[in-house]
Amino acid sequence: MSFADKVLTCRDCGASFIWTAGEQEFYLQKGLMNEPGRCPSCRAARKAGQVSGGALRGRREMHPAVCAECGAETMVPFVPRGDKPVYCSTCFDRIRVRH
């Protein structure tokens, strides 16, 4: 199979970038089916904010809450809405084992 360089547009910054024939061959060898959607600099910036597993992570914003089980003040990585109980780590682990 022969490849030719392609000009693509970055979905983040809108800049044009070249997806080389060598990169296309690499994608094929790795079984990747889609063309890259981001230019090399946006890919690098995005990768710099990642941790293992590919999930984007920066510093997690934590929110104060009161544990529905023991009443301890705790911090959780989501905004408590009030319609569901919120647990501290200790109680959450204990409740998870029960279910």
pLDDT at 52: 47
pTM of the model: 0.48
pLDDT in tens, 7-61: 999 999 999 999 999 999 999 999 999 999 999 999 998 888 764 444 555 677 8
CA distances (Å), origin 36, targets 11, 15, 19, 86: 9, 13, 8, 40
